[in-house]
Amino acid sequence: MDYVSGILSGFQVVFQVSNLFYCFVGVFIGTLVGVLPGIGPVGALSMLLPATFGMSPVSAIILFAGIYYGAAYGGSTTSILVNIPGEASSVVTCIDGYQMARNGRAGAALGISAIGSFIGGTFSVVALMLLVFPLAKAAVLFGPPEYFSLICMSMTIVVYLAHGSLMKAIIMAIVGLILSTVGLDFITGVQRFTFGSDTLQDGLGLVPVAMGVFGIAEVLTNLRDHVERTILSAPIKNLLPNLEEWKRSVWPIVRGSVLGFPLGILPGGGAIIASFLSYGVEKRLSKHPEKFGKGAIEGVAGPETANNSGAGGAFVPLLAMGIPSNLVMALLLGALMIHGVTPGPRMITQRPDIFWGVIASMYLGNAMLVVLNLPLVGLWVKILKVPYRILMPLILLFCLIGAYSLNNNVVELIIMVVFGVVGYCLRRLGYEEAPMVLAFVLGPLLERSFRQSLIMSDGSFMIFVQKPLSAISLAISALLIISSGFSYYKKTKAKISVDE
């Protein structure tokens, strides 16, 4: 199937009434999630996983994709009006976006954010469509050794780019791998860590684990850390930038689109890195860098375009090779596997309705988001005023209903609550959940590839270095580990010198 016939078939899929509805619902919920600080797309996807079991796989992935890139749009509204990033990738937008709002240019900041996001998102969809086929053809050459090494490299990069302690990130990744082994051994059928429970024979479910670690833990964290939200009270008008602001924004939008997409492909928060890097590039290239931090529109246009372009780039490794580049993609992978669909090169040929349907829905969803973000600014401002004491119990209720309705199993409800408490404690101790959940999702794929490789080589570990692609991936992983270890050693040595 060529690109033209493929995208036309995709629009036939997405223009079905049910899929059109789920596309709208996805971007609406995504915008809502982005506007409300603290929930995030991961928490939203975790809570909505049980709701997708009655849907077709196409509808489920369209819904989830809409939530993901919709959250990237919505996060800018909170950053500009409240100075609190609704999404991690919108942190940079706070710097100049909020200052523009204080200077009476909130409308222009919101307008250029929505327009830049639309352009960046559309660029990423076009690039995704053109790039996935070549990558999928290359992925067919991958065998178990290459997949094992590639997954190792992805997990290493995620740990390497962790925000906190590297050692804590490694510990969390190991914990996630251990949790992924719960259940029946897929080769021998031996029970592992089931403790006599019939429920655990099928392994720990992604839904209760994710809902606990992100949903319940988020509720507990927000009950502890009450954040004051001072919402801009001035009326928001003139949603389109003036001619001078347009001129200053054109090249930041172009550069943000081109910069964000390849960074989004990289494992470990590519959209976040893209927004920070875009801001740095614009400040470096600006003729008036002293205006940054005081309300420069370039500091909004570039990063917002880059993070939405990066959000589209994150779909490339998932759709082409079946390997998630971040936690949201890991949940999308889990959702597809629950529906009996395995992303990767075979999905493009075996389930073209899903692949092209998602591509077409992203075109349409980006257009919907412009309509949602600009005319409905007043609605989002009102939603921002909803107090946490009302919002958090509702999230808790959705989590409990979702976990129980999955299989009408009380044990899964207990698992969710236990992981919620564990997730809250981990946050208090400075441990990140992302490496654990990513390792939990990728663990079965990692183990299967590892054991298949050893069967192919009659137990010889040399198979992992005899294959060129496998050897390169492992070498990159080793270099990252050595580099991080060396950095840790230098910091420790410097600290000891200061103490002495």
pLDDT per residue, tens digit, the chain (500 aa), is 577 788 888 889 999 999 999 999 988 888 887 777 656 677 777 777 777 777 888 888 888 888 888 877 777 777 777 766 666 667 678 778 888 887 878 778 888 888 888 888 888 888 888 877 777 676 667 778 888 888 888 777 767 666 567 788 888 888 888 998 888 887 777 888 888 788 788 788 777 887 788 778 877 877 776 555 555 555 566 667 788 888 888 899 999 888 888 877 766 556 667 787 788 888 888 888 878 888 888 888 888 888 888 888 888 888 877 777 777 787 788 788 777 787 777 777 778 888 888 888 888 888 888 877 777 777 777 776 677 677 777 777 777 776 776 677 788 888 888 888 888 888 888 887 778 877 887 788 888 888 888 888 888 888 888 888 888 888 988 887 787 777 766 766 666 666 55
pTM above 0.75, yes or no: no
Residues 181 and 200: beta-carbon distance below 8 Å: no
C-alpha to C-alpha distance for 392 and 478, rounded to whole angstroms = 42
pLDDT of residue 93: 81
| End-to-end CA separation in angstroms for the chain | 68
Nearest to 36 by CA among 342, 292, 381: 381
pLDDT of residue 226: 59
pLDDT of residue 317: 80
* Those residues with Cβ within 8 angstroms of residue 339's Cβ, 6 or more apart along the chain or in another chain: 52, 56, 57, 60
DSSP state string for 354-409: HHHHHHHHHHHHHHHHHHHHTTTHHHHHHHHTS-HHHHHHHHHHHHHHHHHHHHT-
Q: 343 - beta bridge partners?
A: none
All structural domains of the chain with their residue ranges: 3-494
- Which amino acid, one-letter code, is at 320? A
